[in-house]
C-alpha cells in the first residue's frame, strides 16, 4: 500500500513538471510575439499618444528620447497597461484578434499577463536566478519566491522594488524591467501606497495597473 502511494506521488510530480514546462514554453512564445506585434499592430497615432502620456506620468521631458530601461518600461506599459482611444489595452486587442491561432496554454498564460502590473516588493534576496521577497503592502510580510522571466536586474536586500509579479502555471515569476526606489523617497512612496490600500475597493491594484509607471519619478538612478 505504501509503495503504491509513493508511485502515485512520483507520477504526480512528473505530470506537474510536464505541465509547467508547457506553460513556460507558451509564455515565452506569447511574450516574444507580443513585442513583435508592437512594431506592426499598434498604430502610430496610438504610439504617439501613449508616449506623451507615459512621459507625463513618469515626469520625463517631452524632448527626451526614450532608450534603455526607460524604453522597455514604456513598451511594457503600452502593451499591458495603456488604454487606447477605443477603451481597450493593446494586449487585449492582440489576444482577441489572434485567439484562433493560440494554443490552450497560450490563452491561459494570456489571462495571467492581463492581470500583471508593477508590484511593490521588498527584497529579501535578489541577486540570484530566483528571488525572495514580500509584497511591500502586506503587513504579514509573507515571503515569496519567484523565478525570473525576461528580468535580469539584481537588487540589494531590503530594497523597495517595483516589478511585474506574475504566476505562470504553478510557479511565480518576476517579469520585465524593474525600478528600485531611492531610499530617500521610500517613506513618501509607502505613504502613497497605503493611502490607496485604505481607499479599499481594489484601488491599489487600479492605481498600479493604470499609473504604476509614476514610480519612475522616485527611482534610484545609478
> Residue 29, class by beta-carbon neighbours within 10 Å (0-12 exposed, 13-18 middle, 19+ buried)?
middle
Residues contacting 41, CB < 8 A, separation 6+ = 90, 93, 94, 97
User: What is the topology classification, in CATH, of domain 117-218?
Assistant: OB fold (Dihydrolipoamide Acetyltransferase, E2P) (2.40.50)
The Cβ of residue 124 has, within 10 Å, a number of other Cβ atoms equal to 17
pLDDT-derived band at 12, boundaries 50, 70, 90: confident
CA 153/CA 133 separation, integer angstroms: 14
Q: What is the pLDDT of residue 203?
A: 92
Q: What is the pLDDT of residues 58-75, one digit of tens each?
A: 999 999 999 999 999 999
Spans of all domains in the chain:
2-113, 117-218
Note the pTM of the prediction, 2 decimals.
0.90
Per-residue pLDDT at 5: 52
pLDDT, tens digit (0-9, with 9 covering 90-100), for 15-52: 888 899 999 999 999 999 988 887 788 999 999 999 99
Residue keyed to cell 489576444 = 95
Phi and psi at residue 171, in whole multiples of 5°?
-110, 150
| Cell numbers representing residue 208 in the block | 498600479
Q: Where are the beta strands (DSSP E) in 13-135?
A: 118-125, 130-135
DSSP string, 4-16: HHHHHHHHHHHHH
If you average pLDDT over residues 125-143, what whole number do you get? 92
Amino acid at each position: 500500500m505504501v509503495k503504491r502511494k509513493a508511485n502515485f506521488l512520483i507520477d504526480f510530480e512528473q505530470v506537474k513538471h510536464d505541465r509547467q514546462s508547457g506553460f513556460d514554453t507558451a509564455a515565452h512564445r506569447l511574450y516574444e510575439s507580443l513585442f513583435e506585434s508592437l512594431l506592426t499592430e499598434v498604430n502610430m497615432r496610438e504610439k504617439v499618444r501613449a508616449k506623451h502620456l507615459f512621459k507625463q506620468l513618469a515626469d520625463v521631458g517631452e524632448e527626451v528620447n526614450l532608450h534603455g530601461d526607460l524604453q522597455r518600461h514604456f513598451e511594457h506599459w503600452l502593451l499591458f497597461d495603456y488604454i487606447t482611444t477605443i477603451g481597450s489595452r493593446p494586449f487585449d486587442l492582440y489576444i482577441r484578434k489572434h485567439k484562433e491561432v493560440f494554443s490552450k496554454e497560450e490563452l491561459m498564460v494570456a489571462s495571467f499577463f492581463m492581470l500583471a502590473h508593477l508590484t511593490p516588493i521588498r527584497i529579501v534576496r535578489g541577486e540570484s536566478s530566483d528571488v525572495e521577497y514580500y509584497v511591500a503592502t502586506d503587513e504579514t510580510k509573507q515571503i515569496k519566491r519567484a523565478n525570473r522571466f525576461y528580468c535580469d536586474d539584481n537588487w540589494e536586500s531590503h530594497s523597495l522594488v517595483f516589478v511585474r509579479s506574475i504566476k505562470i502555471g504553478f510557479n511565480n515569476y518576476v517579469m520585465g524591467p524593474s525600478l528600485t526606489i531611492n531610499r530617500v523617497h521610500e517613506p513618501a512612496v509607502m505613504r502613497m501606497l497605503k493611502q490607496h490600500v485604505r481607499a479599499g475597493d481594489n484601488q491599489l491594484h487600479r492605481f498600479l495597473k493604470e499609473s504604476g509607471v509614476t514610480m519612475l519619478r522616485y527611482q534610484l538612478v545609478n
